[in-house]
Amino acid sequence: MNESMTLESACGASDGESPRGKSVVTAKVGEEVSPKVTARLAERISRLAASPIRDILKVANRADVVSFAGGLPDGESFPDLSLETISQQALQYGPTEGEEQLRDWIAEDLTKRGLSVAADCVLILSGSQQGIDLVAKMFVSDKTKVAVESPTYLAALQVFNLFGADYTSFCPQSSDKLVDGSPALTYCIPTFQNPTSYCYTKAERQRLASACDASGSVLLEDDPYRDLVYDQCDRQPVCSYLKRSEWIYQSSFSKTLAPGLRLGYLVCSPSLYPTLSWLKQAADLHSNRLSQQLVLSLLQGTDYEARLGKLIVRYRKKRDHFEALLQEHFSDIASWTVPAGGLFFWLKLHSARAIDTRELLQEAIARGVAFMPGEPFFSVPRDAASHIRLNFSNASAQQSSTGVKILADLFRSH
Ligand SMILES: Cc1ncc(COP(=O)(O)O)c(C=O)c1O
C-alpha cells in the first residue's frame, strides 16, 4: 500500500465533529470495495477506522526516520530468549483462562499491590488490547454511555467506537463531576496515562472509585505502564478502592518484557469472569502458550527484579535526556509536565490560533522525524488542537537530539 496515502487516510482532515474515522470503505484509500460487498457489511463496520498510530508506525519504522510516534520500548532492553525452559506440551491446545502457574504468579503479585484477587479471576490475554475488546463486547452497544478521560488511549477509542459508544469525559483533577450521569462503563488509565503520562494521586483514585460506586458504572482500569516508575507516586489500583461497583483491572507484559510476545491479562469481579472468558474463547480459544511459558520463566527467574530495576534506570536516563532537549528547543513554543513514569511527553504548543498538528506530520516525516499528533486521543474534538505526544523510550540519545531539534524548527516555523 502507498504509505503517503495511508498516512493521509489516518491523519488528514476528519469530519471535524467526531474522533470516529471515516467508514472503512473510504478510510482505505486506493482500495475499491464493490457496492455489493458494502451492502453486506455489518452495521458496526461503518464505525471502524484504521488506528492512526499503526498507520503512522508503518512510515515511522523506516530506517531514515527518527520515530517519537509509537509507544515502543527500547529494543535493546528486550530479554534474551531461551526456549530451553519451554516444555513440548506448550505446543498443544491449552486452557482459555491461561497457564495455571502464570495465573498464580499474577494473583500473588496483584495482591501485593493492594488488589486482593484469587488466581481463578485471572484471564490471560493476547495483549491487553484484547481486554479492551472483550470488555467493550460485553458492555458497549449502540449509544452506550462510556466515560473516558479526554485525552485517552486512542486504540481504546477505536474499539469503543466500533461498538457504538457515546462518550462522556471526566478529568481526575476536577473532583465533583468525575463520572457524568450514569455511564455503563468507565475507562481509565490512572498510572502514567497514555498520552499525558499523568499519575492520579491517592485522593483522585479514591474519588474515582467512589464516583463509580455511586453511579453503578463498571470500571475498566488499564494499567500497562505502572512498573515504569521514575519518580515516586501513588500506584495502588483504583479497583482496590471500590466498595460496590463491578470492575476489570488489566495490565501487560508489553512494556516491561516485550510487546511482540503479545501477552497481557485481566482480573475482574467474580461475576464478570464467566462471560469474559467465554468471549475470549470465542475470539481466540487461548493465548499463545509459548509466550505464556516464556513470560513465566522470566518472572520466576532470580534476576527479574534486577532486570526491571535496570530498565527503570535506562528509561529514567532517557527521560532526563529528552527533558533537557525539550528545555533547549521547545521551551519558548510549548509547555509540558515532566512524566514521573511511562513512555511519553505530552506537549501543548503555544499559539494564538489552534493548530491541527496532523497537518504538520507529513512535513515532519519528510524532514526525517515522526511524532504523534494529539487529535486522535480526544473523545471531545473541541479540546483537541495543539497537542503532540512524543515517545522517549525508543530513539537513541543521538537520534533524540537530532529529532527534537528538527521538530522544534518545524513547529516554530509554523
Ligand atoms: C493504555 C494502553 N492500553 C493497552 C495497550 C495495549 O498494549 P498490549 O496489547 O501490547 O498489552 C497500550 C499500548 O500501548 C496502551 O498504551
Q: How far is the CA of 220 from the centre of ligand 1 (A)?
A: 13
Q: Is 183 in the pocket of ligand 1 (CB under 6 A)?
A: no
Per-residue model confidence as pLDDT tens for the chain (414 residues): 333 323 333 333 232 223 333 332 334 433 556 888 888 898 888 888 877 666 677 777 788 899 999 999 999 999 988 888 888 999 999 999 999 999 999 999 999 999 999 999 999 999 999 999 999 999 999 999 999 999 999 999 999 999 999 999 998 886 456 666 789 999 999 999 999 999 999 999 999 999 999 999 999 999 999 999 999 999 999 999 999 999 999 999 999 999 999 999 999 999 999 999 999 999 999 999 999 999 999 999 989 999 999 999 999 999 999 999 999 999 999 999 999 999 999 999 998 788 889 999 999 999 999 999 999 999 977 778 899 999 999 999 999 999 999 999 999 998
Whole-number pLDDT of residue 8: 33
Question: In the block, which residue shows the cell 481504546?
Answer: 156
pLDDT of residue 54: 66
Give 253 Cα–ligand 1 centroid separation in angstroms. Answer: 10
Closest-lying ligand 1 atom to the alpha carbon of residue 255 = 10
Q: Answer whether 97's CB lies under 8 Å from 289's CB.
A: no
Mean pLDDT of the chain: 89
- Single out the residue of 291, 285, 229, 220 nearest to residue 262, CA to CA: 291
**Is the CB–ligand 1 distance for residue 357 below 6 Å?**
no
Residue 258 identity (one-letter amino acid): A
- Helix boundaries (H) for 231-332: 273-284, 289-300, 304-330
Please identify, by atom number, the ligand 1 atom nearest to the C-alpha of residue 189: 1
E strand intervals along 78-181:
122-125, 145-149, 166-170
How far is 401 from 350, CA to CA, in rounded Å? 22
**Pairing mode, if any, of strands 66-67 and 334-335?**
unpaired
Q: Is the CB–ligand 1 distance for residue 224 below 6 Å?
A: yes
Query: Residue 237: which of 245, 226, 252, 253 has the closest Cα?
Result: 226
Task: Give me ligand 1 centre to Cα 191, in Å.
Answer: 13
Q: Is 128 in the pocket of ligand 1 (CB under 6 A)?
A: yes
Contact 3, 30 (CB under 8 A): no
- Beta-carbon contacts of 79 under 8 Å, excluding residues fewer than 6 positions away, are 257, 258, 298, 307
pLDDT at 355: 85
Query: H-type helices in 216-264, by residue range?
Result: none
384 Cα: distance to centroid of ligand 1 (angstroms) = 21
Axis-axis angle for helices 273-284, 128-139 (nearest 10): 110
Tell me the HSE value of 199 on the side-chain side, using a 13 A CA sphere: 26
Tell me the CA–centroid distance for residue 10 and ligand 1, in Å.
Answer: 19
Would the CB of 131 count as within 6 Å of ligand 1?
A: no
Instruction: Return the half-sphere exposure (C-beta side, CA atoms, 13 A cut-off) of residue 185.
Output: 29
Indicate the SS3 state at residue 75: helix
- Please give the number of the atom of ligand 1 that sits closest to the Cα of 129: 9
Selection from 96, 104, 105 nearest residue 124 by Cα:
96
Confirm or reject: Cβ of 191 under 6 Å from ligand 1.
no
| Exposure b/e, 115-152, CB count within 10 A at least 16 = b | bebebebbbbbbbbbbbbbbbbbbbbeeebbbbbbbbb
Atom of ligand 1 at shortest distance to CA of 262?
Answer: 10
Does residue 73's CB lie within 6 angstroms of at least one atom of ligand 1?
A: no
Ligand 1 atom nearest residue 253's Cα = 11
- Residue 173: the pLDDT is 81
CB of residue 339 inside a 6 A radius of ligand 1 = no
Q: How do residues 203-258 score in pLDDT, each as one tens digit?
A: 999 999 999 999 999 999 999 999 999 999 999 999 999 999 999 999 999 999 99
Cell 535496570, residue?
310
